[in-house]
Amino acid sequence: MFEKITVVGAGHVGATQALRLAEMQIAREVVLVDIIDGIPQGKALDLYESGPIMGFDTRVTGATDYGKTVGSDLVIITAGIPRKPGMSRDDLLSTNAGIVRSVAGEVKKSSPNAIVIVVSNPLDVMTYVAKEATGFAPNRVFGMAGVLDTARFRTFIAERLNVSVEDIQALVLGGHGDTMVPLVSYTTVSGIPLKQFLGQDEIDALIDRTRKGGAEIVAYLKEGSAYYAPSAAVAQMAEAIALDKKRILPCAAWMEGQYGISNTYLGVPCKLGRDGVEEIIEVELTADEKAALEKSAEHVRSTVEQLKKLG
């Protein structure tokens, strides 16, 4: 168990995140931070008051500065503007980079030993921004993406086959966006290869829907983006770290030669434990999957270069 987890950003993602963490009781205190006075304090108090009903003792507090976050074991960055219909994650680049850079600087001062999980979009690039701004070791700064993307892929497969999501095993790698790489070769239904249930055209349709899963939700909401599934994904990651579970989960991790890719963040299978990303797991890929992963990495690198040109 952690002593303190901080969630930066008290919007839909951050507030839902704080609630999930409090109910999981993996930290003694959850601190919700936002720049708008009253919002984090009010939402935190509301969450805290649900404890007697839901049966958790986690203390939940809100703040507009980082004083109450000092010494956090884990910091989750959700701050940033959300997508609107028609926008890609990359459209948020400049604005959210400034926000994440500022937040990361505060985290560096208030919680120099923290592990940082980035949720803000465009996720892989924002994770890079956070690493650069904190100066933390790469194993302590990584992004939520693969767990969410994999959950969406599993959901769509289960819906199509009319089976339990519990029986769908899958793995989605690559950048969090249109270039993500669902690994069909590792996708099974209770151990049975997906290709024994569906033809390639049907599988391709599920892959396409997975890649556009976030945009599908944005189109419905009109204002804002997904928050229930993203917060669940981070909660699973946070639990693995806080309880040192050594879970193998796909995360946006800093690549140092794995899969032949270096100096970029990319979604890959990671062993998560008390030290953050303790190992990047390399799995065998088909030629098409390897090419798709390299293409995804190049997209992330080009977006980082675009950000650098913007200053």
When pLDDT is averaged across residues 233-247 and rounded to a whole number, the result is 98
Q: What does each C-alpha distance from 311 to 97, 121, 252, 305 come to in angstroms?
A: 10, 18, 23, 10
- Judged against a pLDDT cut of 90, whether residue 59 lies above it is answered with yes
Given 12, 89, 176, 271, which residue is catalytic? 176
- Average pLDDT estimate for 210-216: 94
Calculate mean pLDDT across residues 230-258.
98
Encoded amino acid at 167, one letter: D
Residue 282: pLDDT band by 50, 70, 90 thresholds? very high
Q: What does the alpha-carbon distance between residue 27 and residue 110 come to, in Å, rounded to a whole number?
A: 18
**DSSP label at 34?**
-
The mean pLDDT of the chain is 95
Would you give the distance in Å from CA 3 to the centre of its chain?
Answer: 22
pLDDT tens string 250-278: 999 999 999 999 999 999 999 999 999 99
Q: Which two tokens stand for residue 286?
A: 């088909």
CA distances (Å), origin 230, targets 43, 88, 109, 307: 19, 17, 27, 24
Question: What does the pLDDT read at residue 311?
Answer: 65
Q: Are strands 276-280 and 262-273 parallel, antiparallel or unpaired?
A: antiparallel
Which residues lie below 8 Å from residue 214, measured CB to CB, with a gap of 6+? 83, 89, 225, 226
| pLDDT digit string, tens, across residues 123-181 | 999 999 999 999 999 999 999 989 999 999 999 999 999 999 999 999 999 999 889 99
Mean pLDDT, rounded, for 98-123: 96
Other residues' Cβ atoms within 10 Å of the Cβ of residue 194:
23
Long-range contacts of 298-304 (CB under 8 A, 24+ apart): 299/175, 299/177, 299/179, 300/124, 300/125, 300/175, 300/264, 300/265, 300/266, 301/263, 301/264, 303/90, 303/93, 303/122, 303/124, 303/125, 304/125, 304/128, 304/264
User: Is pLDDT at 61 greater than 80 in this prediction?
Assistant: yes
CA angle 160, 165, 169 (to 5 degrees): 100
**Interval 84-99 mean pLDDT:** 78
Which residues, in sequence order, are bridge partners of residue 254?
265
From 184, 227, 190, select the one nearest 207 (Cα to Cα).
Answer: 184
pTM value is 0.94
CA 183 to chain centre: 19
d(CA 120, CA 46): 24
Could you tell me the two tokens for 195? Answer: 């290709």
User: Please, what are the domains in the chain?
Assistant: 2-143 (3.40.50.720), 146-310 (3.90.110.10)
Structure tokens, 198: 């569906």
Q: Would you say residue 97 has pLDDT above 90? A: yes
Residues of the chain above pLDDT 70, percent: 97
Is the model's pLDDT at 309 over the cut of 90? no
- Is 12 designated active site? no
Q: In the predicted model, is pLDDT for residue 90 greater than 70?
A: no
- Three-state secondary structure call for residue 82: coil
Residue 198 CB partners (closer than 8 Å, separation 6+): 160, 161, 206
State what percent of residues in the chain have pLDDT above 90.
Answer: 91
Residue whose tokens read 């209770």: 190
16 Rama sector, left if φ>0, alpha if ψ -120 to 50, beta otherwise: alpha
